[in-house]
Amino acid sequence: MNYFSMNEVSVGTEVKIKNSDLKGRVVEVFHFPTTFKVEFEDGKFEVFKTHEIEILDNSNVEDADE
């Protein structure tokens, strides 16, 4: 796995919320500070900081590097 900046995470990336079993997809990225609006399977949304999420599917990020 290559190093990537959390600023390069794109919409649609699958993430897991640390310290929980919740998984969702990034629907919006905010900058300064970088935060992510995540949509869960039940249709709810919540905003998380970079240290609160773990990237599960970073294929969108890797595609951006190529």
* CATH code, 22: 2.30.30.60
Domain-embedded: residue 16: yes
Higher pLDDT, 66 or 2: 2
- What's the pTM? 0.78
pLDDT for residue 66 is more than 50: no
In which domain, by residue range, is 50 found? 6-65
Q: Is residue 1 assigned to a domain?
A: no
Asked if pLDDT for residue 58 goes beyond 80, the answer is no
Does 61 map to a domain? Answer: yes
In this structure, what token pair is assigned to residue 23? 């998984």
CA 59 to chain centre: 12
Counting the structural domains of the chain, the total is 1
Q: Count the alpha carbons within 13 Å of 9 in the hemisphere toward its beta carbon.
A: 27
Give the confidence band of 64 by pLDDT, cuts at 50, 70, 90.
very low
